[in-house]
């Protein structure tokens, strides 16, 4: 079992839809949770990060973490064709030298 599980998709939605992307994780030591966006043939770029449980909003993007159920979510409101990319969730433990563990990524296509 991978430490961070994510449905690879692909997920196709019409422009303007609300998108929900989800991950589960198994390592209780994870404290930091991130979403990276990767456009085709590019490197991943950090979109959002949250510490422990809770919500974080940035424009059209909202990240949620529920540590009790080990569930990570990213919501995209009013999705745009430019949001078409692969979204990778990631998690990190606290303290010392920790490695970031990535999910496999969900490929999202927003259709105009």
Site residues (CB under 8 A) for other proteins? 8, 32, 34, 41-46, 49, 51, 86, 88, 92, 94, 97-100, 102, 104-105, 107
Smallest gap from residue 50 Cβ to other proteins (A): 9
Smallest gap from residue 60 Cβ to other proteins (A): 20
Smallest gap from residue 43 Cβ to other proteins (A): 3
CA-to-CA distance for 62 and 53, rounded, in angstroms? 13
Asked if 86 contacts 71 with a C-beta cutoff of 8 angstroms, the reply is no
Handedness of CA 6, 106, 13, 17 (dihedral sign): positive
């Amino acid at each position: 079992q991978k430490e961070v599980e994510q449905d690879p998709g692909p997920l196709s939605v019409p422009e303007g839809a609300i998108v929900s992307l989800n991950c589960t994780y198994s390592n209780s030591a994870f404290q930091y949770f991130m979403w990276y966006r990767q456009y085709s043939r590019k490197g991943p770029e950090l979109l959002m990060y949250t510490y422990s449980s809770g919500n974080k909003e940035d424009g059209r993007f909202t990240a949620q973490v529920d540590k009790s159920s080990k569930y990570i979510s990213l919501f995209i409101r009013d999705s745009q064709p430019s949001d078409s990319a692969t979204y990778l969730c990631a998690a990190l433990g606290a303290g010392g030298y920790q490695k970031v563990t990535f999910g496999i990524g969900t490929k999202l296509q927003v259709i105009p």
